[in-house]
Homo-oligomer: A and B are copies of this chain.
Amino acid sequence: MQERLNTEPVYVISIAAKLAETHPQTLRMYEEKGLVCPFRSANNIRLYSEADIERIRQIQNLTQVMGVNLAGVEVILDLLEKIRTLREELEKRHEQLRQEMEQEFMERLRRVAMNMDPSGGA
């Protein structure tokens, strides 16, 4: 439906639980274990964002479908994040290398040109 995830925390716990097809008490447990940390309103009510819901769904998939416990979920989510970071970092390094080599090329080209046409050199 939505083109991008709404990161504004807007869902109270009952709605969040329905959206992620789980139980409010389970969400409170996830928070206690530091797995999903919703915003709190001024009067202490938990408020979940779309991103939170998506994370809850991912956790549900790991626990219910794959049988992973919450200690495992924590490690796995960290590793997935690490993979994402690694990919981005290496993408960046790739681009950086390309630019460095382009610069080196220009430098070498300049030197070669100076050798071939001494009148232009110092």
Q: Is A109 an interface residue (CB 8 A)?
A: yes
Contact digits for A78-120, partner B, Cβ 8 Å, 1 yes 0 no: 0110110011001001100110011001001100110011000
Residue from B72, B82, B112, B113 in contact with A72 in the complex, judged by beta carbons closer than 8 Å: B72
The prevalent SS among residues of A at the interface is helix
> A63 CA to B94 CA in the complex, in Å?
37
Residues of B within 8 A of A86 (CB): 83, 86-87
Q: What is the number of residues of chain A that contact chain B, defined by CB distance less than 8 Å?
A: 30
Residue from B71, B94, B116 in contact with A69 in the complex, judged by beta carbons closer than 8 Å: B71
Contact digits for A44-72, partner B, Cβ 8 Å, 1 yes 0 no: 00000000000000000010001111011
Q: Is A19 an interface residue (CB 8 A)?
A: no
Binding site for B on A (CB under 8 A): 62, 66-69, 71-73, 75-76, 79-80, 82-83, 86-87, 90, 93-94, 97-98, 101-102, 105, 108-109, 112-113, 116-117
